[in-house]
Amino acid sequence: MAGKKASEPRTETGHGTDQSALVGLRQVAIAAGVSTATVSRAINTPHLVSPKLRERINEAIDRLGWVPDGTARALATKRSSTIGAVFPTLTHGDFARATTAIQQELQACGYTLLLACSDYDVEQEFRQIKKFIERGVDGLILVGENHHPDLARLLARRNVPTINTFVYSPDTHGTCIGPDNRKLFFDMTKYLIDMGHRVFAVVAQSVENNDRAEARLQGIQDALAQDGIAVRPQHFAIGQWSISEGRHLFRRVMTSEPRPTAVICGNPSLAVGAYLESLAMGLKVPDDVSIVGYDDIEVMSHLPVSLTTVRVQSEQVGRNAARYLVARLEGEDIEIPFQCDTEIVLRESSGPPPGNPATN
Amino acid sequence: MAGKKASEPRTETGHGTDQSALVGLRQVAIAAGVSTATVSRAINTPHLVSPKLRERINEAIDRLGWVPDGTARALATKRSSTIGAVFPTLTHGDFARATTAIQQELQACGYTLLLACSDYDVEQEFRQIKKFIERGVDGLILVGENHHPDLARLLARRNVPTINTFVYSPDTHGTCIGPDNRKLFFDMTKYLIDMGHRVFAVVAQSVENNDRAEARLQGIQDALAQDGIAVRPQHFAIGQWSISEGRHLFRRVMTSEPRPTAVICGNPSLAVGAYLESLAMGLKVPDDVSIVGYDDIEVMSHLPVSLTTVRVQSEQVGRNAARYLVARLEGEDIEIPFQCDTEIVLRESSGPPPGNPATN
DNA sequence: CAGATTTGTGTAAACGGTTACAAATAAGCG
DNA sequence: CGCTTATTTGTAACCGTTTACACAAATCTG
């Protein structure tokens, strides 16, 4: 393999391009004494080529060290075996886990993942999707249901199968997979109401361009409405996604009158922040106030007072999203479980409101 | 999504393929009354085509709604404008942040990111890289320096520029960018020694296929060795990356004799776990024991006792890695700052050892 | 054993762009 | 005003595969 030649290929420079650039299907065909069509078949549909030739071809392939050119193949077949995913961010645990799962699943099926982050910006997302389509992705994985107004047309026009993740609603139109965000928080709120809580605070992230967060808020309000309750304006705190924000907002709602007995947090960072602030404020959880969160991150179960939260199987979401697309591309018309498993994980941070020791 | 049917493509069905599939460079050329070459030039090198034609062509393009086919372009130009990144996992904050930064930077330069996770498996990584090369990536971003033995040859052969991230060592051979892991922990350890600590415990993740973690361990040992100290076997605890593991291991080292006065943790989860276990064990931090970690995740600064740790600018690593590759591909031979900014963030969890109130 | 199949290969035309080269047109100049 | 030099545009080859179609050889059939 080594000793090529040329005048003075003294050291590294690694211009290995000399001959290796020339090795294509053609060269393999010549080396094996067959036509290019046969080589192609030996690769893609081995059973259509005689064992003898197959043997010779394979031998030639790894003698020449040929690697098929995916680009050319994609052009010829009009399938890139590539899936694009656009997530708002990767720094949130659930998206990171889903992405990992997607990649794993795709890889197992011979697909490659193209990734982009929209940073919760619809325009940006749209641009990235267009880019992906230019690149010829065979399918698309997005988050949420509200996208750029022109997206639907574009997808239909180019006929790109798409699945919306982390969102599910019984009456939805598109193809989506995820938790029923509204119901999830509806149930969680119901649970708190049943325990006797009447004064609720909400500490959540902005719902801008985030229909999941919006649905969750709706769930809370719907549940409360059933009992004629509402979240008072001073108990409704919207902010960034961070622990420190959780602390601020928690303190704010807890220092306003009347003092809430239950604080529902919209994401794990806010919940952890809320709890840590309660610690700093010298409040007893859950005796003075119940705190519940969304998404189960590891630290939640390890804090001095473990946090009640909602667990969403992000991996499952990712895996099934990938699986769905692949199946659809392979022609199978599968029905994946579009609603993913969720669970309200009851831990120490939630209990009856103060002065109401046992309603349960 | 229910009642789809057949027979009556009455409404949506979106078989927009009818004519849109036919719209290519050729049709645009015809529509504009020019040759394909001119259209191509109007797109890629507008200054080479007269304003009049340019106008007409652009008009035709968006009248027909033409989207150039990236695959074909890639085949013709032999550049895919695509970069592949293989990370061990995305579930660790630093990698997630770096990935986000990479994607942002690449996007800004007109490149697309292909992503894969190797799960700390060299073979897997190699397979994924090969796949990426088949797909024609223009460059590669990897983590660490020890890869599959055949990788170097493959990369040289195909002439794919590559950068190793999260690793930097003054005497390294390849192109890499990241913190000097050894020095980082060397300094951290030195700081603890200077404060008077003599009995050290290490709680870290496995170093298998992880030269970064290995280098950090080496840094600890080197620093200790300078003062003739070593970590006793019973104080050397290696395990998984998780909070619960951090708790276990912390308890284990703290219940062995002699009791360590300083516990160095190899990652943020272990550090948080260690601290939480100290709480559960009723130990005072830092009075009874100092705890330090690696990587600054938000919760560390918010715990009742904030944690001393090392901060690595993962975004910077990612951004510069991307920038480097792009520059290299554009022909510029830039010198990025290969060593990334790091900082030992001193917080409450570290202090003088018990019975040594003031050495500082 | 001639004719109808099946099976294994080769030929050559796509796939949808880019680009070297040639040709035509416009501009510059002594 | 011819001749040289830029500037624009067109022609056609090429990028590296796949695959429809044709064809020859092997395998059946009656």
pLDDT one-digit tens code per residue, A226-268: 999 999 999 999 999 999 999 999 999 999 989 999 999 999 9
Question: Cα separation of A2 and B15, whole Å?
Answer: 53
Query: Which residue in B90, B136, B303 is closest to A100 by CB distance?
Result: B90
Q: What is the mean pLDDT of residues B10-22?
A: 39
The residue type found at A303 is L
Name the B residues in 36-65 with CB < 8 Å from any A CB. 65
Integer angstrom CA distances of residue A20 from A17, A63, A64, B200, B335: 5, 12, 8, 53, 29
Which residues lie closer than 8 Å to A256 by C-beta, 6 or more apart? A234, A235
Taking the Cβ of residue A82 and every Cβ of chain B, the question of whether any pair is shorter than 8 Å is answered with yes
Q: Could you say which residues from 241 to 270 on chain A have a Cβ atom under 8 Å away from some Cβ of chain B?
A: 242-244, 247, 269
- B/e letters for B108-128, b = 16+ CB within 10 Å, e = fewer, are ebebbbbbbbbebebebbbbb
Strand D neighbours among A 23-82, CB < 7 A: 24-26, 36-37, 39-41, 43-44, 66-69, 72-73, 75-77
Residue nearest the C1' of D16 (CA based): A72
Whether residue A112 and residue B131 make contact (CB cut-off 8 A), yes or no, is yes
Alpha-carbon gap, residue B55 to B63, rounded angstroms:
12
Q: Is the separation of the CB atoms in A139 and A108 below 8 Å?
A: no
Q: Is B75 near strand D, with its CB below 7 A from some atom of it?
A: yes
CB contacts of B99 in chain A (<8 Å) are: 90, 115
Q: Give the lowest-confidence range in A13-27, A98-112, A118-132, B226-240.
A: A13-27
Verify if strand C has an atom below 7 Å from the CB of B55: no
With tokens 């008072």, the residue in question is A232
Nearest chain B Cα to A168, which residue?
Answer: B1
Question: Using 50, 70 and 90 to split pLDDT, how confident is the model at B85?
Answer: very high
Torsion sign, CA atoms A121, A126, A127, A131: positive
B115 and A117 within 8 Å at the Cβ level: the answer is no
As beta bridge partners, residue A205 has A239
**What is the dihedral sign for C-alpha B121, B127, B132, B133?**
positive
Pairing of strands B139-143, B82-87: parallel
Contact assessment for residue A215 and residue A187, using Cβ atoms and an 8 Å cutoff: no
Q: Which of A331-345, B61-75, B296-310 has the lowest mean pLDDT?
A: A331-345
Minimum Cα–Cα distance from A280: chain B residue: B304
Strands B309-312 and B342-345: antiparallel
Q: Straight-line distance from CA B32 to C1' D5, in Å?
A: 29
Q: How many CB atoms lie within 10 A of CB B130?
A: 16
**Percent of chain A with pLDDT strictly greater than 70:** 92
Inter-CA distances, B16 with A159, B2, B10, B20, B62, Å = 7, 21, 13, 6, 17
Q: Which residue of A has its CA nearest to B152?
A: A14
Domains of chain A (ranges, CATH numbers):
17-68 (1.10.260.40), 79-179+315-340 (3.40.50.2300), 181-311 (3.40.50.2300)
Q: Which residues of A208-239 are buried (b: 16+ CB within 10 A; e: fewer)?
A: ebbbbbbbbbbbbbebbeeeebebbeebbbbb
Find the Å distance, CA of residue A49 to C1' of nucleotide D23. Answer: 16
In B, minimum Cα distance to A77 occurs at: B71
Q: How far is A99 from chain B (nearest CA, A)?
A: 8
> pLDDT grade, residue A17 (50/70/90)?
very low
Contact criterion met (CB < 8 Å) for B70 and A20: no
Question: Does any CB of chain B come closer than 8 Å to the CB of residue A212?
Answer: no
Read out DSSP for B184-199? HHHHHHHHHHHTT---
Q: If you average pLDDT over residues A102-115, what whole number do you get?
A: 97
Q: Read off the pLDDT band of B357 (50, 70, 90).
A: low
> Does B311 have pLDDT greater than 50?
yes
Task: Tell me which residues of chain A, numbers 117 to 146, contact chain B at a CB-CB cutoff of 8 Å.
Answer: 117, 128, 130-136
Distance between the alpha carbon (CA) of A45 and the C1' atom of C5, Å: 22
| Closest nucleotide C1' to the C-alpha of A67 | D16
Task: Read off the pLDDT of residues B105-158 as tens digits, 9 standing for 90 and up.
Answer: 999 999 999 999 999 999 999 999 999 999 999 999 999 999 999 999 999 988
In the numeric block, which tokens belong to residue B47? 């200054």
A11 to chain B, any CB pair closer than 8 A? The answer is: no
**How far is it, in rounded angstroms, from Cα B31 to Cα B63?**
9
pLDDT tens digits, one per residue of B50-73: 999 999 999 999 899 899 999 999
As a whole number of angstroms, the distance between CA B277 and CA B265 comes to 13
Contact state of B16 with A156 under an 8 Å Cβ cutoff: yes
Angle CA(A342)–CA(A243)–CA(B291) in degrees, nearest 5? Answer: 105
Rounded CA-CA distance B229/B258 in Å is 14
pLDDT recorded at residue B174? 74
Average pLDDT score over residue span B46-52: 92
Residue B8 has pLDDT above 80, yes or no: no
Of B91, B158, B242, the CB nearest to A97: B91
| Contact flag A299-B16 (C-beta cutoff 8 Å) | no
Residue in B67, B159, B302 closest to A17 by CB: B159
| Degrees to nearest 5, angle at CA B200 with B195 and B203 | 125
Instruction: State how far the Cα of A167 lies from the Cα of A208, in Å rounded to an integer.
Output: 15
